[in-house]
């Protein structure tokens, strides 16, 4: 393996940048997918478009995302995680900084395994978790 740097040029396609950004985004906590309607999803399956993800390379690296987030997670924290993950992945992979990153949260999605529990009317004579605390009794 050579130890000295050899001057030259590298060419990175827009598709490579999109793949890096997509992987970093989908790997972030709370992101369930990219937003887009049925037509956009069909175009994505045909690999003709990338719904919810826009990358511009003119004059710098501009990225715009339209995301869906899992219901019940803090949206601001998810956006911070995505921002950090993308900036890190692009810098590590390409050695280039992101000039502009815009994140839109377009919806919340309930995951099949994360369906909120259904509250069933409890027996009025049953002891509830807060009953002891509400009674004023000290517990050691």
CB neighbours of residue 52 within 10 Å: 21
The predicted pLDDT at position 140 comes to 45
Q: How far apart are the first and last CA of the chain?
A: 65
Q: Residue 79 has which token pair?
A: 């956006």
pLDDT score, position 135? 61
pLDDT in tens, 51-82: 788 899 888 899 999 999 988 888 999 999 99
Which residues have CB under 8 Å from 79's CB, separation 6+? 103, 105
Query: In the predicted model, is pLDDT for residue 6 greater than 50?
Result: yes
CATH number of this structure's domain 14-134: 3.30.70.1350
What integer is the mean pLDDT of 27-37?
86
Domain spans of the chain, in order of start: 14-134
- To the question of pTM greater than 0.75 for the whole model, the response is no
Q: CA 27 to CA 86: how far, in whole Å?
A: 10
- Give the pLDDT mean for 25-34: 90
Percent of the chain with pLDDT over 90: 34
Using pLDDT thresholds of 50, 70 and 90, give the confidence band for residue 11.
confident
Q: Confidence class of residue 132 from pLDDT cuts 50, 70 and 90?
A: low
Cα distance between residue 122 and residue 125, in whole Å: 9
């Amino acid at each position: 393996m050579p130890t000295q740097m050899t001057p030259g040029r590298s060419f990175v396609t827009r598709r490579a940048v999109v793949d890096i950004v997509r992987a970093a985004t989908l790997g972030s906590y709370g992101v369930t997918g990219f937003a887009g309607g049925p037509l956009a999803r069909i175009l994505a399956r045909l690999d003709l478009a990338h719904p919810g993800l826009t990358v511009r390379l003119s004059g710098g690296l501009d990225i715009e995302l339209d995301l869906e987030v899992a219901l019940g997670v803090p949206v601001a924290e998810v956006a911070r995680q995505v921002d950090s993950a993308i900036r890190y992945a692009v810098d590590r992979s390409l050695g280039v900084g992101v000039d502009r990153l815009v994140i839109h949260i377009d919806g919340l999605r309930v995951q099949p395994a994360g369906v909120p529990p259904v509250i069933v009317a409890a027996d009025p004579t049953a002891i509830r978790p807060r009953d002891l605390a509400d009674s004023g009794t000290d517990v050691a």
